[in-house]
Chain A
Amino acid sequence: SQTIHQWPATLVQPVGSPLSLECTVEGTSNPNLYWYRQAAGRGLQLLFYSVGIGQISSEVPQNLSASRPQDRQFILSSKKLLLSDSGFYLCAWTTLWNTGELFFGEGSRLTVL
């Protein structure tokens, strides 16, 4: 069966520090991968998606970047965090033969102080 993991689960970082959140999917190949953010009062906002290794599409201009170094690995990064980067970050995956359903990881809570 397919599983998705992301880490760390909780992160407290000072403003201006770097960020790296990692997500891996098991049990499937060539998934579409996504990073969403849930900020207070803003629902789930799509940040990045990837349809293959090295292919990244950005939905929202921001302080963050994403990379996909391997088929089932998706990384969310920042060189210098801002206070506004605080939120709950969610990795998700789907495959071409799904009917649009996304499967989410456990989430990573980022607090920038």
Chain B
Amino acid sequence: DQQVKQNSPSLSVQEGRISILNCDYTNSMFDYFLWYKKYPAEGPTFLISISSIKDKNEDGRFTVFLNKSAKHLSLHIVPSQPGDSAVYFCAASEGGGGADGLTFGKGTHLIIQP
């Protein structure tokens, strides 16, 4: 049973436009959500996070939106750049980050086209 779902395996966006990556979750106990970026043959790197007490968090070109009632979050990248091409993982945790780690989605491969 997958508790964090990223239903789009891949997404292609033109350079300069907005990239929107979506994530849904089923566990209502999740209260902290993160996005990670991963290049091939490298470990994931933390991008941005949001606590369940907020509905938006912004960091430069990256904004994460959380809709708790819909159990949905999204990552917006504006404007998209070639270096943004990577796999993006949505992750969630209970209790503000318990010892048992994060639950990840399957990832979305973002391709930025010139």
Contacts and interface: CB of A to CB of B under 8 A. Distances in A.
Interface string B14-51: 00000000000000000010101000011111100101
Contacts of B68: none
Interface stretch (A14-22, A39-47, A68-76): A39-47
Contact of B97 (A57, A100, A107): A100
Contact of B41 (A46, A102, A105, A107): A107
B107 A43 contact: yes
A100 B32 contact: yes
Contacts of B32: 99-100
B114 to A, nearest CB: 28
Nearest to B33: A100
Counting chain B residues whose Cβ lies within 8 A of the other chain, the interface size class is: 20 to 34
Contacts of A99: 32, 49, 51, 96-97
Chain A interface bracket (under 10, 10 to 19, 20 to 34, 35 or more): 20 to 34
Nearest to B107: A43
B100 A57 contact: yes
Contact of A106 (B36, B43, B96, B98): B43
Given A43-B107, A94-B97, A102 B102 contact: yes
A43 B106 contact: yes
Contacts of B36: 104
27 contacts: A32-B99, A32-B101, A34-B101, A41-B9, A41-B106, A43-B6, A43-B105, A43-B107, A44-B44, A44-B107, A46-B101, A46-B103, A57-B100, A90-B43, A90-B44, A92-B101, A94-B97, A100-B49, A101-B34, A101-B46, A101-B49, A101-B97, A102-B46, A102-B102, A104-B43, A104-B44, A107-B43
Interface of B: 6, 9, 32, 34, 36, 41-46, 49, 51, 89, 91, 93, 96-107
Interface of A: 32, 34, 36, 41-46, 49, 51, 57, 59, 88, 90, 92, 94, 98-107, 109
